[in-house]
């Protein structure tokens, strides 16, 4: 059983467990959603499936759900425990938009169900091998994150470059955070205000700041020795977040300029601009 790759997927309702299981299926896992806890052992030991990796979704909808028993099952099966979570306000918005019922709020408001589930799963979240917060993640971002942790493909460090606005809070997924608010702000130039860092005129304005090129060089000097060390330590997914005030001009352009350099170093890179449309 120690060589049988088993992932138990659990977490908060509405956080993205179903999407995660679909991603596992795409990676070649046999995926089961809302699976009865009492049957997991039999599923994992079924003859003829020894080489089939499993991803089993067990949450508060599942028959016989008990957080302590989920932890024990993970230990008994030598499974990795993945916990999917998200911010409370985001969970409430998702349930409101989809008009789904929260499994712990059948006769009370959604907010009360979310609170109750958070309390019930607190210890399980603390014991998880891997915790993924989907508050700021799209479905595609979640899939890339899961692939970084669990794919059977050759492991290479995948680096996400994220622009963001400090006004809207730090990205939850960030491993490295840099601040470019020291650069001249295109927001105060009338003809540039409504453009973004993806526009050439904004890029030209930022390039004129005599602090931009030295900063970029120092940032590369910082990352160049760090990234191979992260990879050597087994980390497969890293997020470098670069922030300005609103996440529309300076951080966006800096991220776009950094991407070609990263790829030249041999790293898989993705770009996401969290706040560009705000």
Would you call 109 exposed, middle or buried from its count of C-beta atoms within 10 A (0-12, 13-18, 19+)? exposed
* DSSP category for residue 38: G
CA angle 199, 271, 28 (to 5 degrees): 150
- Is residue 80 within 8 A of residue 56, CB to CB? The reply is no
Range with the poorest average pLDDT among 46-50, 163-167, 242-246: 46-50
Per-residue pLDDT at 57: 93
Domain positions in the chain are 6-150, 158-273
For every residue of 166-229, DSSP letters joined together read GGG---TT-SEEEE-TTS--GGGSHHHHTS-TTSHHHHHHHHTSTTHHHHHHHHHHHHHHHHHH
CATH code at 6-150: 3.40.50.300
3-state secondary structure 214-264: HHHHHHHHHHHHHHHHHHHCCCCEEEEEEEECCCCCHHHHHHHHHHHHHHH
Confidence of residue 215 (pLDDT cuts 50, 70, 90): very high
Instruction: Give the H/E segment covering residue 67.
Output: helix 67-77
7-58 confidence digits (pLDDT tens): 999 999 999 999 999 999 998 999 999 888 888 888 888 876 667 899 999 9
DSSP bridge partners of 205: none
**Torsion sign over Cα 110, 114, 117, 119:** negative
3-state secondary structure 77-88: HCCEEEEEECCH
Query: How far is the C-alpha of 204 from the C-alpha of 199, rounded, in Å?
Result: 9
Residue 142 tokens, joined: 């979640």
For every residue of 116-128, DSSP letters joined together read HHHHHTHHHHHH-
Query: How far is the C-alpha of 62 from the C-alpha of 35, rounded, in Å?
Result: 6
Query: How far is the C-alpha of 150 from the C-alpha of 81, rounded, in Å?
Result: 12
Residue 94 tokens, joined: 């998702």
- Is residue 237 within 8 A of residue 265, CB to CB? The reply is no
98-155 confidence digits (pLDDT tens): 777 888 887 788 899 999 999 999 999 999 999 999 998 889 889 988 988 888 776 6
| CA atoms within 13 A of residue 219's CA, in its CB half-sphere | 22
Mean pLDDT of the chain, nearest integer: 90
Query: How far is the C-alpha of 144 from the C-alpha of 165, rounded, in Å?
Result: 23
Residue 240 tokens, joined: 């470098």
Residue 2 in this model has a pLDDT that exceeds 50: no
Per-residue pLDDT at 101: 82
């Amino acid at each position: 059983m120690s060589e049988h790759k088993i992932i138990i997927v659990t977490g908060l309702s509405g956080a993205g467990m179903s999407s995660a299981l679909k991603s596992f299926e795409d990676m070649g896992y046999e995926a089961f959603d809302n699976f009865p806890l009492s049957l997991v052992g039999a599923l994992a030991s079924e003859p003829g499936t020894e080489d089939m990796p499993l991803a089993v979704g067990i949450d508060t909808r599942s028959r016989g759900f008990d957080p302590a028993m989920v932890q024990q099952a993970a230990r008994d099966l030598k499974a990795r425990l993945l916990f999917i979570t998200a911010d409370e306000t985001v969970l409430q918005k998702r349930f409101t938009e989809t008009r789904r019922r929260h499994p712990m709020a059948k006769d009370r408001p959604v907010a009360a169900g979310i609170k109750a589930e958070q309390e019930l799963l607190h210890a399980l979240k603390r014991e998880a091998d891997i915790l993924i917060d989907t508050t700021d993640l799209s479905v595609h971002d979640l899939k890339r994150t899961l692939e970084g942790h669990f794919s059977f493909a050759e492991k290479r460090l995948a680096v996400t470059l994220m622009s963001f606005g400090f006004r809207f809070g730090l990205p939850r997924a960030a491993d490295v955070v840099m601040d470019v608010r020291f650069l001249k702000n295109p927001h105060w130039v009338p003809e540039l205000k409504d453009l973004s860092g993806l526009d050439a005129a904004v890029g030209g304005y930022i390039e004129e700041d005599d602090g931009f090129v030295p900063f970029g060089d120092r940032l590369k000097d910082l990352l160049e020795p760090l990234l191979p060390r992260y990879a050597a330590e087994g980390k497969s997914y890293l997020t470098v977040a670069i922030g300005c005030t609103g996440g529309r001009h300076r951080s966006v352009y800096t991220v776009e300029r950094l991407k070609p350099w990263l790829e030249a170093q041999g790293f898989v890179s993705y770009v996401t601009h969290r706040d560009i449309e705000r």
